[in-house]
């Protein structure tokens, strides 16, 4: 099996690569070849017996996708995107990367199939940002998509394209709406949702963090560990079980910022909580105010997708995976 990961240098891409190379297989098929692609050079995994190719590629360049698809990967994980805050700040860049790059990829697959039978599995990472207020108490898969950000709009268009290209038989696609991934390791990025991780990650490492919203803000979360599990499952799931409803909201945990902080207090103590400084940011507050807060993920759960059920577990997963089990 040949697997292509686009966005392989990002946090989730790196963790997915590590998981796949550790397993050595996806489902019941051995992984013989990995192609890792990003706008910065991805790292080749250590200890993988198969062939690995790392490429520095900008998917928003029209010629890029056909060259990647010409290698005829069996499974394509499309993770590449710029984050919400950056897409909102730079309209042109957001549409060029998040929409044009996706369309170029899907069309390259269709064109490759015209040369001879080719129908790969495509896993597209969408977002709960495709939904916009006003919200029901819990958002189900039948709730209409009316995004209130450019990022959410770009992802919603990608979902429609994926469903149509799958319906027409050009590839076998699934779009997975990821919850906000928390706790993200590394340094803060430009995502408007970044503070959800920052107020846990930095205090756990003995550093100060800034909270730009009130503690009663509620949101939908899953850990990086869960995100990788979602991707692996999406890569092996019998998609005939989904019919033509190929985009799905995944399981997660609905919690307030205050509940995040209380979990931090239980796991790491009062000293960690005191490292959080409240500095309201009206731009972030406005963006977050239009985000979904809770979901009915029963459809995804019936298809075998699984996430954490407590913020204590999310924090402990970060401590185990990123801090060697030790809190700073």
Q: List residues with catalytic annotation.
A: 151
The Cα–Cα gap between 199 and 201 comes to: 6
CB-based contact 282:230 (threshold 8 Å): no
The Cα–Cα gap between 67 and 50 comes to: 21
CB-based contact 22:46 (threshold 8 Å): no
Backbone angles phi, psi at 241, to 5 degrees: -70, -15
The DSSP 8-state label assigned to residue 3 in this structure reads: E
* Residue 251 CB contacts under 8 Å (≥ 6 apart), including other chains: 179, 222, 226, 295, 297, 300, 301, 305, 306, 307
The residues with which 125 forms a beta bridge, in sequence order, are 176
């Amino acid at each position: 099996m040949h697997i292509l990961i686009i966005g392989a240098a990002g946090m989730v891409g790196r963790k997915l690569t590590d998981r796949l190379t550790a397993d050595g297989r996806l489902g019941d098929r051995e992984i013989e070849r990995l192609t890792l692609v990003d706008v910065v050079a991805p790292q080749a995994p250590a200890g993988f017996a198969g062939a690995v190719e790392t490429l520095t590629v900008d998917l928003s360049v029209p010629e890029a996708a056909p060259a990647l698809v010409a290698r005829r990967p069996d499974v394509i994980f499309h993770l590449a995107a710029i984050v919400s805050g950056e897409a909102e700040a730079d309209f042109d860049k957001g549409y060029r990367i998040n929409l044009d790059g996706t369309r170029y990829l899907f069309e390259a697959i269709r064109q490759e199939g015209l040369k001879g039978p080719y129908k790969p599995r495509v896993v597209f990472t969408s977002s709960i940002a495709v939904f916009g207020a006003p919200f029901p108490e819990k958002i189900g898969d039948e709730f209409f998509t009316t995004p209130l950000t450019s990022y959410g709009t770009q992802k919603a268009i990608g979902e429609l394209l994926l469903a149509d290209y799958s319906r027409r038989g050009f590839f076998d696609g699934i779009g997975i709406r990821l919850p906000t991934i928390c706790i993200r390791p590394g340094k803060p990025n430009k995502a408007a949702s970044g503070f959800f991780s920052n107020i846990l990650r930095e205090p756990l490492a003995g550093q100060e963090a800034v909270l730009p919203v009130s503690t009663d803000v509620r949101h939908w979360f899953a850990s990086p560990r869960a995100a990788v599990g979602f991707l692996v499952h999406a890569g092996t799931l019998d998609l005939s079980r989904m019919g033509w409803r190929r985009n799905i909201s995944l399981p997660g945990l609905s919690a307030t910022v205050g509940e995040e902080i209380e979990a931090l207090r239980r796991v790491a103590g009062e000293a960690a909580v005191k490292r959080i400084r409240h500095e309201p940011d009206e731009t972030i507050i406005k963006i977050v105010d239009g985000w979904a807060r809770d979901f009915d993920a029963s459809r995804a759960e019936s298809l075998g997708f699984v996430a954490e059920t407590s913020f204590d577990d999310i924090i402990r997963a970060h401590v185990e995976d990123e801090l060697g089990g030790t809190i700073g």
